Every structure is written in structure tokens, then in C-alpha cells.
């Protein structure tokens, strides 16, 4: 495929989603990282897209470019503590799933081993796109700007063919031990992961124990570990292995 054909295809893709990452285009067009960078530069120089860290975005969506930096600013000591504990579960040559979550994003920033990572999170993709040790796979589809993830049924079904060593999962709510999320599509991704990961680990700050969201995927008992920032109640500790 010639460069003009690829760049036209990229512009067409941007009609359906907010941002294209380098890794997504490498997989889609089966070309090198340098080739994708040249394509991105050409489109940006022609004034057709805006360059952002790790990819390009539609010009009318420029306001979203600051959201990644806003997420970085949300890194707190408790999130760093949780991510640091989670990091001990990462080993070289694993195939892991990194969920949509600021805590998991913090873990992505800390990741420094050769491994394969799948994610449907835009922010994880941006963070990991410059990590040369990571073989990154970003699931595509419709972009959900509030929680900054991609989803399509076809892309989600890819997960059924993969055996993950570890799935690192965030949560919008953990009230009464129910693991819940705001988006039905996001919850569907997690349901698939529950049956295709050797270890399923929840990363969540203690404030999530007072919160609930619309879509439940199960209880804490369906997971192997909970990593949090404070010692949880006794009934939680009796349900799941806890690190804090």
C-alpha cells in the first residue's frame, strides 16, 4: 500500500474514532513504526490532523489532547503505592491485560520489562507507545471519551483467543463486594477477561468500597487478588487475597 492510500485510510478512521495511536496503525497496515511516524508527520504538516503523544487526533477534538496530561496529574501517593505492589506480579515475557484505570495507568508508567500488553485504554496506549520493551496491542472500535476507552464486539472477541498471565483490572465501585463499572461495553470486556486470565487482580483505592456503578461483573470472590491502599474490612479479607 502506498503512503497516500494509508493516509487516506487514516483520515477515514478518524471519522469514526477520536485518536489513532502508532501501535494501532502498525498492526492495521503491517508496516514499521518509522513508516507510521512518517505518515503521521505528513498528515500533520498538511494541517489535516493534530499530533499528540503516541499518535494523531482529529483537529476538532483538540480539547481531548489535554486529558492525558490531566490523568497524569491524578497520580496520587495511594495510586503509586497500589501500582508499586501490583508491579511485583509482572514478570518478563508475560502476556497481560491492562484495564482502563488511573491506577493501572500508573502501573503502565512503572512497567520496565519485556512483555506483551493488551489494552482497550487510550491512555495506557499513549503511555506504553514509547516503551520499546513492550509489545503493545490496542483494541480498537468506538471511542468512549468520558472514560477514554475503545470498544467493538469484534475487537473484544479477540480476547477469547488469548490466555493472559495477569489481568490488571480497575473498578468504579466495590460496594458490598460487587465489582461494578459505569459502561456496559467496558464491563463486557472485563467479563471476557474473567475466563481468559490465569490471575485476575483488582487495583482500587479504598474509597471504591463506598461506591457502586451500574454494571456488575461479579464479586471480589471472582478475582485472585485485591490490591488497595488501606486495610479493608474483615469480610473483604475473608473473601479475597489482599495486599495493601
* Every domain of the chain and the residues it spans: 3-65, 74-243
pLDDT in tens, the chain (244 residues): 899 999 999 998 887 777 899 999 999 999 999 999 999 999 998 888 888 878 898 775 444 444 566 667 778 899 999 999 999 999 999 999 999 999 999 999 999 999 999 999 999 999 998 899 999 999 988 888 888 899 999 999 999 999 999 999 999 999 999 999 999 999 999 999 999 999 999 999 999 999 999 999 999 999 999 999 999 999 999 999 999 9
Per-residue model confidence (pLDDT) at position 75? 81
DSSP state of 173: B
Task: Judge if pTM exceeds 0.85.
Answer: no
Per-residue model confidence (pLDDT) at position 62? 45
Q: Which fold has domain 3-65?
A: Arc Repressor Mutant, subunit A (1.10.10)
Per-residue model confidence (pLDDT) at position 61? 45
Domain 74-243 coded CATH 3.40.30.10 = no
Amino acid at each position: 500500500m502506498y503512503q497516500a492510500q494509508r493516509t487516506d485510510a487514516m483520515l477515514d478512521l478518524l471519522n469514526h474514532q477520536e485518536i489513532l495511536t502508532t501501535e494501532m496503525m502498525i498492526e492495521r497496515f503491517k508496516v514499521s513504526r518509522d513508516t507510521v511516524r512518517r505518515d503521521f508527520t505528513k498528515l500533520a504538516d498538511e494541517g489535516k490532523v493534530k499530533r499528540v503523544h503516541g499518535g494523531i487526533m482529529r483537529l476538532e477534538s483538540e480539547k481531548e489532547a489535554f486529558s492525558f496530561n490531566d490523568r497524569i496529574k491524578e497520580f496520587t501517593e495511594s495510586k503509586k503505592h497500589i501500582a508499586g505492589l501490583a508491579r511485583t506480579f509482572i514478570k518478563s515475557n508475560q502476556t497481560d491485560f491492562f484495564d482502563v484505570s488511573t491506577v493501572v495507568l500508573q502501573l503502565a508508567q512503572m512497567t520496565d520489562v519485556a512483555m506483551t500488553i493488551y489494552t482497550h485504554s487510550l491512555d495506557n496506549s499513549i503511555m506504553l507507545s514509547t516503551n520499546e520493551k513492550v509489545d503493545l496491542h490496542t483494541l480498537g472500535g468506538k471511542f468512549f471519551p468520558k472514560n477514554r476507552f475503545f470498544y467493538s464486539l469484534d475487537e473484544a472477541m479477540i480476547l477469547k483467543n488469548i490466555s493472559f498471565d495477569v489481568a490488571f483490572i480497575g473498578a468504579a465501585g466495590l460496594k458490598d463486594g460487587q465489582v461494578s463499572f459505569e459502561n456496559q461495553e467496558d464491563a463486557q470486556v472485563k467479563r471476557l477477561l474473567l475466563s481468559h486470565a490465569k490471575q485476575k487482580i483488582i487495583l482500587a483505592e479504598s474509597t471504591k468500597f463506598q461506591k457502586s456503578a451500574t454494571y456488575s461483573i461479579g464479586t471480589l470472590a471472582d478475582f485472585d487478588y485485591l490490591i488497595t491502599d488501606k486495610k479493608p474490612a474483615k469480610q473483604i479479607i475473608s473473601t479475597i487475597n489482599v495486599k495493601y
